[in-house]
A and B are shown apart, each in its own frame.
Chain A
Amino acid sequence: MNSAASATPTAKDGSGSGTYLTFQVGSEEYGVEILKVREIIGMLPMTPVPGSPSAVLGVINLRGKVIPVLSMRQRFGLPPIAANPLNVIIIVEADGQPTGLAVDLVREVASFDDAHTEPPPTYGLEVNAGFVKALGKSQGRILILLDIARVLALANIPAEIAKGSTP
């Protein structure tokens, strides 16, 4: 934890400043607003859901609640990797719906003020720029600060039409 202040500034709309939980997927580092994060849990047994978007790994049982989990690798168009113990699920909540984000590993909680954020570039990013709220700069690293509502917009992910419809 480096710059996490005690009085947590909230991420304001429009600008990217605020406090973020950062995590790594592939070689890049991302951030989600800390206020949207409910908890971080280890990997749990997953039940795949037929007919759901391919980025959905399945549903888990989180203390009796059934919660879908998204693979951030899939969501960002990266190939799957072998499971390792650092893999975790970040439970975020948007629109009152808890959803799990499966990431390679979590890193830290970091705050960004206006001086350390920049609007997203319009091209040249590996991920769909629509997810990106801003770019954060911290100790020479560049972080991609995510607009979580867009990442979670499952309805916008084309559902894989169930194949083999002829029995």
Chain B
Amino acid sequence: MNDNDELFKLFLAEARDHLEHAEESLLALGKSPDDVEAVQACFRALHSIKGCAGFFDLIRLQDLSHACEHLLDRIRTQELSVTDQRIDALLQMVSHLGQVVEGIECGRADQPGIEADAAHLERLVEVGTNVAPAVATSPMPAAPVDTVITVPPDRALLDDFLAEARELMGRVEELLLSSPANPEQIRAVMRCFHTLKGISAYVGFPLIEKRAHAIEDSLSDKSGTITALSDEQRRALLAAADELRAMASRACLGPAHGEPGRVPPGDSQMRIGDLLVSQGMTREEVEAAAASLKPGERLGDKLVAEGRIPRETVETAAVQQALIKNASDGFSRVATAKLEDLVNLVGELLISQAMVAQDPDLQPGSRLQLAVNRQSRTLRSLQVLALNLRMVPLKSTFKKMSRAVHDIAHKLDKAVDLKLAGEDTEIDRTIAESLADPLLHMIRNAVDHGLETASERALAGKTPRGTIELSATQSGDHVIIVMSDDGRGMDPVRLRRRAVERGLIAAEGSLSQQEIYHLIFIPGFSTADSVTDISGRGVGMDVVRRNVQSLKGSIDIASVLGQGTTFTLRLPLTTAILDVMLLRVGSERFLVPIASVIEASRLESGEIKTILGTGRMVESRGQMLPVVRLATLFDLTDAPPGETGILVVVEHFQGRFALQVDDIVGQQQVVIKPLAEHLPHHPGLAGSAILADGRVGLILDPNRLLEAAGNIA
């Protein structure tokens, strides 16, 4: 049974989200200490983690989050004020919690670095000692999970709960309706109710929890699970499953306690009155109050003013009202595999549609053709939409950077403002993920080495606070990420001298400004001397270049001595689509990324020179390039022999070479697909793509094409 596994995974994902929110609110709180909502949000996030952790018996996580929650509660009730130390201690604890969650996720039991817990807890106690040090070290009594939750569980959690509950009850139905019940099936049914009980407790629906528990009980006797079901029992269980499903739906709409919420669906106003009724007022009371409402006056306010209900009740109801409104534009989690299937099928649809559109029987101007044209337009929009599903906003990547700036600046005792722009720019999920690392290195370097200390800045006539700007914009099929600081800038003369000293470049060689700046990407370039201004710039910068290159992006540097440095990253919008040139060799076609094609020309007889009788070379723009005959490399026998065809000059890491092929078929955009992973193949093949005729084409990797040939130029 993997229901619990599923639930556990969900919990881990949720926990990560909550921690992210907590961090975000703490950072916001750091900026404006009066931000009550930030305290609340952070409290909510940690409270949720504590609740879930309790449900899964993760005592440690529970204790740690409880300690945070406790401190926040005292801030919330204004027993303690917001100070930098407190925020810092909380931030550290939150990132510690992040590590604990990660540890659990990687299956390292629940145990890594337990010593660190104590230190973090101590720190929290320390910063909280205004009044009695109420935060003891673990073990700490956990707050009961389903005491009245002043803050309703968030919408995503409810959505997940509801989906899960429906699935479980569906499974019960399926089990009961299948063949005659055997003991294993009855146990499975029982497990479903058991799981439902667990998740209801977790989100705080005690009525559902009790009902599920009662059913679970009825399925077992002294010796364990009962082994047979009468028809009557079966009917009763089916009815119970229906009932629980309905209860779950109602509970998710209505107040957070499984009371059948009287929620008229589709009513956008979603009467606050209805919610108040479910909170204990009588309908008559509410209706009377509503009838005497003046225009512009709000029912909730009026009732509070009249002293009929406490303000909290109205606030709770208002939150629920907002939740119901939001429910319609919520998000759903979808497995990546399903998205890929969708993209695949849309691609297939386009191919079969093209076959219809190109059919000779299709009369130009006919009704049928108009319909086909219309169909193809819709299909293209569908394809764009399907590919867009892979895109995520850069917000969460950028958020990590705010955190990094905060931490590093704090450590170095520098005052730094990070200005973010364009966080909503969307980029392929895989690119967003691999972007975090390089950005982090760049940010670290900027704070550590790019920005001067406050006193240096004062001397230079700058504001004491340094500024780093991080922005993202979309430009065509690329995303441009710009990171600039107003620090000391880079000195090309010094960079150059350092490189010569370290023997990386020849003393007399001429380098462009850009080439000199790029010296910082050479691993270990400047780590030797850590006292100078440029020293640290080499740390991690080769990681940056490597990652950006592997994403098929590029990086530019601009710097003005004394005024700052700007890095410009240019990344493709998606890794899923590639512009390729179609090459034909014999009856086969191969695709080469346009980005690596330099030029192409018809092969003239006598153009190819042999070196030492074997190596074939050709002269291109004054450079001798090795010639690789693709048919020979891939052992394709149906290509015409000899010195005919086309030479395509391609570029790879270390230089250029010429590919000899029969013909260039054209250029197109393709959706990249992995070449069956478990299939051994030539290292020079990077993947595959479905071509316009529905056949598979293989994508060449110029960087590795020559590996097997042992002929790297």
**A166 touches which one: B348, B636, B680, B709 (CB < 8 A)?**
B709
B634 within 8 A of A: yes
Residue of B nearest to A152 (CB): B678
Per-residue 0/1 for B675-713: is the Cβ within 8 Å of any A Cβ (1 yes, 0 no)? 111111111110010100011111000000000111100
Kindly list chain A residues whose C-beta atoms are within 8 Å of the C-beta of B694: 45, 61
Contact residues in B for A67 (Cβ distance below 8 Å) = 676
- Chain A residues 115 to 167 lying within 8 A of chain B, measured CB to CB, are 152, 154-155, 157, 159, 161-167
- Would you call A164 and B681 a contact (CB within 8 A)? no
Would A50 and B709 count as touching, CB distance under 8 A? no
Query: Scoring A residues 101 to 121 as 1 if CB is less than 8 Å from chain B, else 0, what string do you get?
Result: 000000000000000000000
- List the B residue with the shortest CB-CB distance to A97: B678
Q: Are A66 and B695 interface neighbours, CB within 8 A?
A: no
B633 at the binding interface (Cβ < 8 Å): yes
- CB-CB under 8 A from A77, the residues of chain B are none
CB pair A50–B682 under 8 Å, yes or no, is yes
8 Å CB interface, A24-81 against B: 45, 47-53, 56, 58-61, 63-68
Q: Which of B629, B673, B679, B711 has the most CB of A within 10 A?
A: B679
What number of A residues sit within 8 Å (CB to CB) of B? 34
B182 within 8 A of A: no
State whether B676 touches A51 (Cβ < 8 A).
no
**Which of B344, B628, B660, B698 is close to A65, meaning CB atoms less than 8 Å apart?**
B344
Known: A64-B347, A164-B633, A167-B627. A52 touches B680 (CB 8 A): yes
CA gap between A63 and B656 in the complex, in Å: 37
Report the minimum CB–CB distance from B137 to chain A (whole Å): 46
Interface residue range, chain B? 35 or more
A64 near B690 with CB under 8 A, answer yes
Q: Is A95 an interface residue (CB 8 A)?
A: yes
B609 to chain A, nearest CB (A): 13
B353 CB to nearest chain A CB (Å)? 13
A60 touching B634 by the CB < 8 A rule?
Answer: no
Residues of A within 8 A of B711 (CB): 165-167
The minimal Cβ–Cβ distance linking A131 to chain B, given in whole angstroms, is 17
Give Cα A53 to B680, complex, Å. Answer: 7
Chain A residues, CB < 8 A from B343: 64
Nearest A residue (CB) for B674: A66
Residues of B within 8 A of A157 (CB): 680
B682 near A66 (CB under 8 angstroms)?
no
The answer to whether B218 has its CB under 8 Å from any CB of chain A is no
- Name the residue of chain B whose CB is nearest to the CB of A159: B680
- Whether A164 lies near B635 (C-beta < 8 A) is yes
Indicate if the CB atoms of A49 and B698 lie closer than 8 Å: yes
Flag if A167 contacts B709 (CB, 8 Å).
yes
Question: Counting CB contacts under 8 A, is B345 at the interface?
Answer: yes
C-alpha gap A104/B660 in the complex (Å) = 38
Known A-B contacts A45-B695, A50-B685, A63-B348; A163 and B635 likewise in contact (beta carbons under 8 Å): yes
Instruction: Please tell me if the beta carbons of B681 and A49 are within 8 angstroms of each other in the complex.
Output: yes
Verify A59–B633 contact, CB threshold 8 A.
Answer: no
A58 to B708, CA, bound (A): 20
User: 1/0 contact trace for B632-659 toward A, CB 8 Å?
Assistant: 1111100000000000000000000000
A51-B682, A59-B688, A61-B694 given; A162·B635 CB < 8 A: yes
Chain B residues lying within 8 Å of A59, measured Cβ to Cβ, are: 675-676, 679, 688, 696
Please report the C-alpha to C-alpha distance between residue A148 and residue B635 in the assembled complex, in whole angstroms. Answer: 30
Distance in angstroms between the alpha carbons of A49 and B686 in the assembled complex: 12
Collect the chain A residues with CB atoms within 8 Å of residue B677's CB: 97
A66 in contact with B634 (CB, 8 Å) = no
Q: Which residues does chain A contribute within 8 Å of B629, judged by CB atoms?
A: 167
Any A CB within 8 A of the CB of B399? no
Docked Cα-Cα span, A140 to B673, in Å, equals 47
The answer to whether A66 and B628 have CB atoms under 8 Å apart is: no
A53 to B690, alpha carbons, bound, how many Å? 22
A and B contact pairs by CB, cutoff 8 A, 15 listed: A52-B680, A59-B675, A64-B341, A64-B345, A64-B673, A65-B673, A66-B688, A66-B690, A68-B678, A154-B678, A155-B680, A161-B708, A165-B633, A166-B711, A167-B628
Nearest first, the 9 closest Cβ-Cβ pairs linking A and B are: A64-B344, A51-B682, A50-B634, A164-B632, A47-B696, A68-B676, A50-B682, A167-B628, A159-B680
Interface residues of B (CB under 8 A from A): 341, 343-345, 347-348, 588, 614, 616, 626-629, 632-636, 660, 673-685, 688, 690, 694-698, 708-711
